[in-house]
Chain A
Amino acid sequence: MPPFSRVERRESMAERRPSMSYTPPVIPHLEGLEKPQQNHIELDQADVLILGTGLIESILAAALSWQGVQVLHLDNKSYYGDSASTLTIDQLKKWCIEVNQGKLPNFQDAQIYIPGGKSTNKFKSKDYGIDLTPKIMFCKSDLLSLLIKSRVYKYLEFQSLSNFHVFENDDFNKKISNSTSKEDIFSNNSLSLLTKRNLMKFLKFILTDNKNPEKKQLLFENSKQTIIDFLKGQFNLEDPQINELVYSIGLCIKPTTKTPEAIAKIKRFLVSFDVYGNFPVMISKYGGPGEISQGFCRSAAVAGTIYKLNTNLVDYDPHTKIAQFSDGSNIKINEKIIISPTQLPKFLQSTYNELVNDEISPLPTYNITRLITVVRRDCKEWMSDQESSAIVVFPPLSLPTQNNQSVQVIIQNGGTGICPSGQSIWFSHTSEPDLNRAKLDLESAFEKMEASLLRETESNLEKNLNDEDFKINSSANIYSTTPIMVNSFKLGEHLQNFVPKEKLEIVCKVGFVQKTLINPDLTNVFQASESNNVILKSPASSDIIFTNMLSSELSYDGIITETKLIYSKITGSDEDFFDVDFEDEDDEGNDDYTRSSTTTTAANTIANAHIDDANLVHTKSTTSIGDNSNDIAIDDDDDDDNHEPFGTDVDNMEL
């Protein structure tokens, strides 16, 4: 910003207007007549216009602007994040009303329940940051590499998440928690030697180089096989281990998940473990995708992107390339207009509908049903020591509703900055297509968690405990004499025998349905084509590219791949995607940050690996999960042992 110069002051109307003719808005602005068009965007032209500050759009804005592209980034809401925003309770109330008024395309059936009156249910709306689309980040993932490379991580705070609980046989009798090695991940000490051996055999298989001929062959032969049958047939694993591997570690949602997809997902967990510590995933403090969007928008702004909220695109003339906005601005857009589905202007509605539902390849819509509950409990029972979040998974058929698909829940308490301390937020969702069933599944999962939580805090707790539930913390500090409960989920009887004496206090409960054109298995992201993804579907001749709503995927997988699809569509290639070398701050004394070559090359190798990945998909048919690129990044990088975190561990795991 040139200080002192008056360059940034408003130019005269004559200067500001493009030389070509356009029709000025007929109705003058009513408010601020004394200062007409105060909020007019002071810009004659931009290369790319992006509508919507959602996660993908924000990463795109940053990627483009760091390559010197002039980006104008608008949002028709008053907040950042678009359909992936992090909202306060008051914002969420308003949001629900707008959904039900049909003002937010791709959302429906919003319900918000705030029990009690102001006197009994006291809360400050502002203390809450509730994600519409909460996500977790694997410690080895393309988003993480990009956060480092782009330096956006400096705006954010990340916390570890190590507890993954699986609900099974009406009890939460499995968990993956604070393991010190990958073999510990299977926490059940009562596993037979044979089962352990089979598990280790499978883990070794999964961590083997993808180029290994035997592995390739086996995966190829089983590419159409479900993971359940594969684990049973090839590795003699039993149901409890299979459930844990497929639904908890793998976060798969259906028993029909195909072997290559599930293997990639399980591997994603295993290679993420021990990268930053004994945990596989992280969550971003103060909010997930909503927070990360803001970070990338800030990065884009530093690189020159112009931001304005509360602004719609009103009209666009493809001949003059002049875009008209709701604030009265008229700006020439030289290259492309990127539009998120929730920001779709009326005049483009039919274009969009025709594109999505054309006769040759209409795109199927997928439902994501969410139930978000804010409770007055910190739920520490479910979390690892010093952590503030946990994952609970209800595998298919584990609930009384006979759920067809997994219900996945992220639990976060006040320690993550999204609610006051002493409270927590339970974010649950399912991809069940039948909306009535989906709601029943989510309610049922909520009841199970509620019952479990209340049971654990009953006053007669001691009766249900035995010595195995306590351990003395061996680490040498002053607290070491305090017994720490370890297996809290294993307490006492099965849930069905438990009748809680009290009810869980609820601050707020929100339910809604989100639509997306992205398949829950992300196949139309990782194998995107003109016939399955709306980004690629729009004709090259069109100035307008429509983006997708976020998928139901619990992690950030697929986000970068999708962003690159749009980036390539605009610039012709994704080779220079975030290809920036920032100079080091000379005087900051960067001792805090070992910004080593490893971290930056990681992103590069992933980008390169992506090309290999495409080839790989062709040769062995259907491996579809994006962390293939991670796999390859690890496997290919022989000259950098940092990329082989488990090189020695694999052998040690053999029993």
Chain B
Amino acid sequence: MSDATPNTNRFAQFKLVLLGESAVGKSSIVHRFVKNTFDDMRESTIGAAFLTQSINLPESNTTIKFEIWDTAGQERYKSLAPMYYRNANAALCVYDITSRSSFNKAQEWIKELKRQATEGIVIALVGNKLDLEENREVDQQEVEEYIVQQSAEDDGNQIITSECSAKNGDGVLDIFNSIGRALPVDEVINAAANRGRPAGSRQQGGIDLARARRQQAAAANSCC
């Protein structure tokens, strides 16, 4: 953080994956965050690879863009592909505070995450359906105990905990802000800067298939 100049607006993009039992409200949290709605906005209408949303962290003058991958139902029978976890910088492990079994499942997902994901991935353990407080089955005490036990294992994964309601929006943005603060923003920005940008060199991320060179070439040809 020392070399972060406060007046420069910095930008970094991160991949975030969703995990958790079916029907705990994974997609709802994302839709609340991305669209600020609680509708069943279907990814299928845009053939969505993933949704994106940016947040600003005023204290470090940083814009963080999340590339959010939904499970597309492939979690239901434990059939998520390695591609899903690959290069994920953060994971939202969601449970339903009114369902004990969903909390147990969330712990299993964290285990799976540690097995499959990149080291140092930021994990957020999120209890959804805070608006159904009266039916609560998982209390915060319990979550804390789990976290203490996890940190004892000391495997370098930090776990953020929080609760939210995708239905009324409470706590949703806070989750993403906390994740944003936990992400290695400086590392990513510096790494990008170190790559240098010799003119005309290809992007680090490989070739953008939607950008054929011919489109530029055609434009050039048309003038001669």
Query: Which residues of A are in contact with B by a Cβ distance under 8 Å?
Result: 1-9, 39, 41-42, 66, 79-80, 86, 129, 144, 147-148, 150-155, 157-160, 274-277, 282, 285-286, 291, 294-295, 297-299, 301-304, 306-309, 311, 386, 475-477, 580, 582-585, 587-588, 592-596, 598-599, 641-642, 645, 648
Contact = CB atoms under 8 A, between A and B. Distances in A.
Contact of A301 (B51, B74, B198): B74
A274 B205 CA distance: 19
A528 to B, nearest CB: 28
Nearest to B197: A477
B169 to A, nearest CB: 13
A238 B27 CA distance: 63
B210 A595 contact: yes
A301 B48 CA distance: 11
A169 B202 CA distance: 35
Contacts of B100: none
Interface of B: 22-23, 25-28, 34-35, 38, 40, 43-52, 70, 72-74, 76-79, 81-84, 86, 129, 166-167, 196, 198-202, 205-215, 217-218, 221-222
Contact of B46 (A8, A285, A582): A582
B52 A588 contact: yes
Given A308-B79, A309-B78, A277 B72 contact: no
Contact of A598 (B83, B199, B212, B221): B212
Contact of A151 (B47, B81, B196, B200): B47
A291 B51 CA distance: 21
A642 B79 contact: no
Contacts of A6: 23
A598 B23 CA distance: 40
B166 A276 contact: no
Given A80-B82, A282-B207, A594-B210, 4 more contacts: A276-B209, A309-B77, A598-B212, A641-B222
Contact of B23 (A1, A80, A150): A1
11 contacts: A1-B40, A2-B40, A80-B81, A159-B207, A274-B214, A277-B202, A298-B49, A477-B199, A583-B45, A594-B215, A596-B215
B213 A276 contact: yes
A599 B212 contact: yes
Contacts, number: 166
Contacts of B74: 297-298, 301, 307
Nearest to A140: B212
B83 A642 contact: no
A295 B74 CA distance: 12
Interface of A is mostly: loop
B202 A386 contact: yes
B19 to A, nearest CB: 14
B206 A1 contact: no
Nearest to B206: A157
B221 A3 contact: no
B46 A642 contact: no
A386 B43 contact: no
Contacts of A306: 73, 76-77
B215 A157 contact: no
A86 B211 CA distance: 27
Nearest to B35: A587
B202 A39 contact: no
Contacts of B23: 1, 3-9
List the 5 shortest-distance A-B pairs measured between CB atoms, nearest first. A3-B28, A582-B47, A301-B72, A154-B49, A308-B77
B151 to A, nearest CB: 24
Nearest to A159: B206
A155 B77 contact: no
A453 B83 CA distance: 33
A299 B202 contact: no
Contacts of B27: 1, 3
B213 A275 contact: yes
A79 B116 CA distance: 13
